[in-house]
Structure 1
Amino acid sequence: MKHNNQIKKFCEDKTDLNEADIDYLIRQSEAVLSSKEFMDKDVFIDVKNIYSDHAIVVFHRKPHTKESLYEKTVVGQSAFLENEPGVLRTLQTGVPSVGLRGQSQEGVAIEQTVFPITRGEKVIATLIVESDFSNSFSSSFSLKPSKGDNSYIFQAPSESSREDEVSLLDYVEDAVLVFDQGGFLLHCNQSAVLLYRTKLGYLDSVQGMHYDNLSLDGTIFSELVEDHFSDSNKTVKYGKHYFQVKCYPNARNQQTVLTIRDISDLKEKDKEIQESVIASREINHRVKNHLQTIISLLRLQGAQVKESGTKVAFEDCINRIFSIAATYELLSSQEHEQIDLKSLIEIVSSNLQRCFAERPDIQLKLELCDQIYLDHNRASSLALVINELLQNAYEHAFSNKKYQKNKKNQCIRLQMTKNDDIIRIQVIDNGSGYNVETVGQEHLGLILVQRFVDSKLSGRLVTTSNHEGTQVKIIFKV
């Protein structure tokens, strides 16, 4: 049958329904065709279009006892939230929408009753029963044809039930709706009026509507009361909007208060932040990979170098690049831009231990506090500084032959503490020491340390050295 093929085609192309869902929907359409209910109404089946915030018409049964509201076929056309709020509401919540006003694809004022079509726990479509509403508007409404087309402009009075009084609720930014003990809307503030008209597409007055026709989270009034308003604070995604919905009873006058706050902007900002974090992590991952590639190339080149001084220069360069890559390795594996210094120092230290594997007689001891973080720029600088200090200690602290004969417990200690907002890092060895006044001015690594501590960390560098060993202190503010 033609309508079966249409349903199958539209559902396969524009929905996420599986084959079993589509077969079930086709059976429902066949049941509608054979049913004798709503013989004087236009009956539709709409499904959610996954590529937009709209629904799409996949089935239409015209009335048997009167003329259809539609001159042309609307199968395959979209149902927009601003024109048919009941359709999108029921698809979203799974709750029937009874007697909601709307506007057809041909600009006719209509009244819709919308039922969910469910399979298991899933709302797969809606069944819509439509009737002409253009000749039965309430006298409080004005329906005028718009210029240039067949659509209509709806003009409704203020929703306030007490126009001569100033309601304090109108100064509340959240939408506030107050229902009587039967679940019918007694009054609401102007924020609620604007919410339902401009964002939820309700074309008629919500005054006097039942809670079941206004809820956004799929709850119905009777169940809400039976559950004593448990779980009445929810975040609801409704179309492209997000709402914070709260519902609570007013026992004094047996009324129920519903508040709705539009948090779409907050959610959008959260989404932008998450996307930025993901993009940043991807960039950091790529930078780390590029640095690792450079390290590999330098190692290949260094392996061909025969002159010892040049080979040492290659190794120094490789270790410096690795200390920077360590920062990006951490950044690429976490969700924030702050670097855990303990993890960073452990990576840099582990690399140096591998580089000096031929010196198992030198012990490297780490005494590091937890929960100390730095931004990635300063963390990278600190990683370079620590790399230089440890490498310098490995290469020079225990190189004196006379010292090696007399000293058995050769040790380098790296300590990190934090008091208030001051970080103190110490690299201490029990080597032979050196002349701080002369060596520091000639050694490239120590020159880099001094400059990075001054310019990147805005800290102080204090070095003391004698025949008992060397102590380097780095003190800076978080």
Structure 2
Amino acid sequence: MPTLSDLAVSHTALDDADLDWMHSLVSDWQLLADLSFADLILWVPLRDGSGWIAVAQMRPTTGPTVYHDDVVGSVVTKGERPLIDTAWDERRICREGDPDWSSGVPVREETIPVRRAAAEGGYAAAVPDGPFVGVIQRSTNLSSARTPSRLELTYLQSASDLAQMVAEGRFPFSGDEPILVRSPRVGDGLLRLDRAGRVTYASPNALSAYRRLGLNADLVGAELGKVTAALCYGDEPVDESLMIVAAGRAPRETEVESGGTIVQLRAIPLIVGGGRIGALVLIRDVTELRRRERELMTKDATIREIHHRVKNNLQTVAALLRLQARRLQVREGREALEEAVRRVGSIAIVHETLSHAPEEFVDFDDIADRVIAMTGEVSSPEAQVTPRREGSFGVLPAAIATPLAMVLTELLQNAMQHGFAQRSGRLSVVVSRAAERLDVLVVDDGKGLPADFDLETSTSLGLQIVRTLVVGELSGRLRVEPREGGGTEVGLSLPLPPPSQ
């Protein structure tokens, strides 16, 4: 489906300011759809003035939809939807007299002209007398119509006020921070305030949230700011942002906590005809959500601490092996311990990186570079070989990063010790990554493989470790073969989990 920006650029004359306003509107118009119990379609005039194109659509979560299929991208000509034309030409909200039965169910149609504020700088400083940029078609499915409750009447009155604000260029609120993804919705809980910040209506969910905060009295008729401050702060100094939100004086969000309950508040000032007539306050109990977030943070911190301690322990083991190697007089034994030091060191590098990572994923390029540098330190003075990396490993899960670090250590170490024992040359790690596969080449122009080399029957401990890790643990493929022009080429092909995993 084409995006709002794609449609606007291709078919309309909207400029950047108009487009920004449209994006702000559709990012927050779920509120209007839910309060209206209606579908919303945003129509923008075509560049040549011959008709309209639908650039966005929203369905209500509080009532049945009219449009089961998407209409974004649809084009209608002038005269095909008279209410859209009238709202645009006369710059006013238009309401149809009788329901439309053409779809088989009764539908009430309304249209709201969309006006952009002429200037920004916060909702109070916005100049509403800007250009008109589109029309919202509001379609209500009346098939389940019944005598409305007080909640529904409050919703509808609030929707009418918001619609008037859209037509006056006062909603969405320009220049303010974007609404959070997890902001309260209409169904979570709603309070309607008058100009003085007193509650004139409280939905059952909103009242329940305040009961959990410790409220014992009636909320209707009370000043929300004073009630909330008394519940959550007692005699302590009150956060000024709370009073601004709870009084509905600014379009902001805040959270309050009392007795282990955490409630999120979002204020929507209602400004109609140039004056503030009150406000809506959306309320959501986020106690369980915040508890889970704290648990996840604690688990993440614990996991990082474990990685840190494992890294320290591995470094201690490496230091002990290094001390033991220095005391050995037998060259083969000393070299074996030094190889063990490097193997332990490669695992420690992974755990050190994981101890700083928020999740069990690491940027393997940094690990590979450190393994390559560690391998370069063991080259003989006569060899003068500096390994290098070409391409990027990207981010890898720890389950792949740890064995892969050991594999790189073994392959580079083998190349250094056997391919460049007394000679100089080039040693490269070439990486190629696709969506679900990682290919790695370790290429050198050194001495090359023995004439009778066979990977399956090789007794080299390093290659046995590599084969076990690549084939057995990582479910990958391994090949070791002579390089054209001299030297050795080792190829790894490893499957990667899908991005969602």
Structure-1-length-normalised TM-score: 0.58
Q: Cα 1:258–1:324, aligned 2, differ >3 Å: closer, same or farther?
A: same
For residue 330 of structure 2, the aligned residue among 296, 307, 311 is: 307
Q: In 1, Cα distance between the equivalents of 2:260 and 2:460?
A: 62
Q: Work out whether 1:395 is the aligned partner of 2:408.
A: no
For residue 298 of structure 1, the aligned residue among 299, 321, 324 is: 321
Query: What code does the residue aligned with 1:247 have?
Result: A
Alignment match, 2:151 = 167
Q: In 2, Cα distance between the equivalents of 1:269 and 1:194?
A: 21
Secondary structure, counterpart of 1:410 in structure 2? coil
Query: What code does the residue aligned with 2:319 have?
Result: S
Q: Is the 8 A contact 1:211 1:221 kept in 2?
A: no
Alignment match, 2:52 = none
State which drifts further: 350-359 or 325-334. Answer: 350-359
Structure 2 matches for 1:389-428, cutoff 5 A? Answer: 389-399=411-421, 404=423, 410-428=425-443
Secondary structure, counterpart of 2:427 in structure 1? strand
Q: In 2, Cα distance between the equivalents of 1:337 and 1:225?
A: 40
For residue 194 of structure 1, the aligned residue among 192, 208, 214 is: 208
CA drift at 1:269: 1.2
Alignment match, 1:209 = 222
CA drift at 1:295: 0.8
Q: Is the 8 A contact 1:212 1:220 kept in 2?
A: no
Secondary structure, counterpart of 2:222 in structure 1? coil
For residue 489 of structure 2, the aligned residue among 454, 464, 471 is: 471
Query: What code does the residue aligned with 1:471 have?
Result: E
Identity of aligned residues (%): 26
Query: What code does the residue aligned with 1:472 have?
Result: V
Partner deviation per Cα, 1:397-420 (whole Å, 9 max, x = no partner)? 123x6xx4xxxx511011222122
Alignment match, 2:254 = 234
User: How many pairs does the alignment contain?
Assistant: 306
Q: Which entry has the higher C-alpha Rg, 1 or 2?
A: 1
Q: Is the 8 A contact 1:178 1:258 kept in 2?
A: yes
Q: Is the 8 A contact 2:372 2:388 kept in 1?
A: no
Q: Cα 1:429–1:283, aligned 2, differ >3 Å: closer, same or farther?
A: same
Q: Is the 8 A contact 2:245 2:254 kept in 1?
A: no
Q: In 2, Cα distance between the equivalents of 1:459 and 1:213?
A: 65
CA drift at 1:442: 1.5
Specify which structure has the higher proportion of strand.
1
Q: In 1, Cα distance between the equivalents of 2:227 and 2:420?
A: 80
Q: Cα 1:310–1:224, aligned 2, differ >3 Å: closer, same or farther?
A: closer
Alignment match, 2:88 = none
CA drift at 1:234: 2.5
Secondary structure, counterpart of 1:363 in structure 2? coil
Q: In 1, Cα distance between the equivalents of 2:301 and 2:262?
A: 22
Q: Cα 1:262–1:413, aligned 2, differ >3 Å: closer, same or farther?
A: same
CA drift at 1:238: 4.4
CA drift at 1:231: 4.6
Q: Is the 8 A contact 2:186 2:282 kept in 1?
A: no
Structure 2 matches for 1:50-65, cutoff 5 A? Answer: none
Alignment RMSD: 3.0
Q: In 2, Cα distance between the equivalents of 1:164 and 1:193?
A: 20
For residue 338 of structure 1, the aligned residue among 361, 372, 392 is: 361
CA drift at 1:303: 1.4
Query: What code does the residue aligned with 1:475 have?
Result: S
Q: In 2, Cα distance between the equivalents of 1:445 and 1:262?
A: 57
Query: What code does the residue aligned with 1:313 have?
Result: A
Q: Is the 8 A contact 2:225 2:246 kept in 1?
A: no
Q: Is the 8 A contact 1:211 1:220 kept in 2?
A: no
Partner deviation per Cα, 1:127-176 (whole Å, 9 max, x = no partner)? xxxxxxxxxxxxxxxxxxxxxxxxxxxxxxxxxxxx99373489964221
Q: Is the 8 A contact 1:340 1:374 kept in 2?
A: yes
Q: In 1, Cα distance between the equivalents of 2:305 and 2:364?
A: 21
Alignment match, 1:70 = none
Query: What code does the residue aligned with 1:415 have?
Result: V
Alignment match, 1:250 = 270
CA drift at 1:302: 1.3
Q: Is the 8 A contact 1:427 1:472 kept in 2?
A: yes
For residue 176 of structure 1, the aligned residue among 165, 185, 190 is: 190
Q: In 1, Cα distance between the equivalents of 2:242 and 2:257?
A: 20
Q: Work out whether 1:432 is the aligned partner of 2:447.
A: yes
Query: What code does the residue aligned with 2:470 have?
Result: V
Q: Work out whether 1:286 is the aligned partner of 2:309.
A: yes
Query: What code does the residue aligned with 1:165 have?
Result: S
Structure-2-length-normalised TM-score: 0.56
Q: In 2, Cα distance between the equivalents of 1:361 and 1:221?
A: 67
